């Protein structure tokens, strides 16, 4: 029964929110390494805000893939590599963005994990869009690394996705961000 609930929860996560978060978390056990996994996600967003390509490189596994879906357009998903993102930031061409997230759902099975979370992203103090981030991670020894990142870019979804209480935002960005 617990296995079926976990599989149902994973299906909900992989379909980018087909199930309500309350339903997902009630049926699934807490991920044993949840805090360590979320620390990696926090570090990822802090590195983006700081424009730190070296930090991104340390937290990515080899051959990271990123997938950008823009469901408000007719465009198909676009794909990139973690190497391209790292190179952009290391060369100074990466855009420093502030991207808080909230209410993350963390699923873990031994050395694999998935994080599903709503987010908003802004640059230079201007809101760009909101959406859903989905991270796939794997454990390498005692360190969790990001294997893949998929996200939706939804400019008109902020009213729907933003929480009323922004104290739920993660990570804790340095003041001024």
Residue 155 structure tokens: 């400019």
pLDDT at 175: 73
What is the share, in percent, of the chain residues with pLDDT greater than 70?
84
Dmax of the chain from CA atoms?
A: 51
Across the chain, what does the average pLDDT equal?
A: 88
SS3 per residue for the chain:
CHHHHHHHHHHHHHCCCCCCHHHHHHHCCCCCCHHHHHHHHHHHHHHHHHCCHHHHHHHEEEEEEEEEECCCCCCCCEEEEHHHHHHHHHCCCCCCCECCECCCEEEEECCEEEEEEEEEEEECCEEEEEEEEEEEEEEECCEEEEEEEEEECECCCHHHHCCCCHHHCECCCCCCC
Distances (CA, A) of 27 to 22, 23, 34, 154: 9, 7, 16, 29
Q: What is the pLDDT of residues 140-173, one digit of tens each?
A: 999 999 999 999 999 999 999 999 999 999 999 9
Backbone φ and ψ of 32, nearest 5° = -60, -35
Strand arrangement of the beta sheet that strand 60-69 belongs to: 78-81, 60-69, 143-152, 126-140, 112-123, 105-109
pLDDT for 1 beyond 50: no
What is the share, in percent, of the chain residues with pLDDT greater than 90?
81
The hierarchical CATH code for the domain 31-168 is 3.10.450.50
Domain boundaries, the chain: 1-30, 31-168
Cα of first residue to Cα of last residue in the chain, in angstroms, is 45
């Amino acid at each position: 029964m617990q296995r079926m609930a976990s599989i149902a929860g994973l299906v909900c996560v992989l379909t980018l929110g087909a199930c309500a978060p309350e339903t997902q978390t009630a049926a699934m056990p807490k991920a044993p390494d949840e805090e360590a996994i979320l620390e990696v996600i926090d570090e990822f967003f802090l590195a983006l805000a700081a424009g730190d390509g070296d930090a991104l490189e340390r937290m990515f596994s080899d051959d990271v893939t990123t997938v950008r879906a823009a469901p408000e357009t007719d465009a198909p998903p676009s794909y990139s590599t973690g190497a391209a993102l790292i190179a952009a930031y290391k060369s100074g061409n990466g855009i420093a963005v502030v991207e808080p997230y909230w209410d993350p759902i963390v699923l873990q099975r031994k050395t694999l994990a998935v994080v599903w979370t709503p987010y908003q992203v802004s640059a230079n103090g201007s809101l760009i869009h909101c959406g859903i981030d989905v991270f796939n991670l794997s454990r390498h020894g005692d360190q969790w690394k990001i294997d893949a990142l998929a996200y939706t870019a939804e400019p008109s979804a902020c009213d729907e996705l933003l929480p009323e209480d922004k104290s739920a935002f993660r990570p804790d960005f340095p003041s001024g961000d």
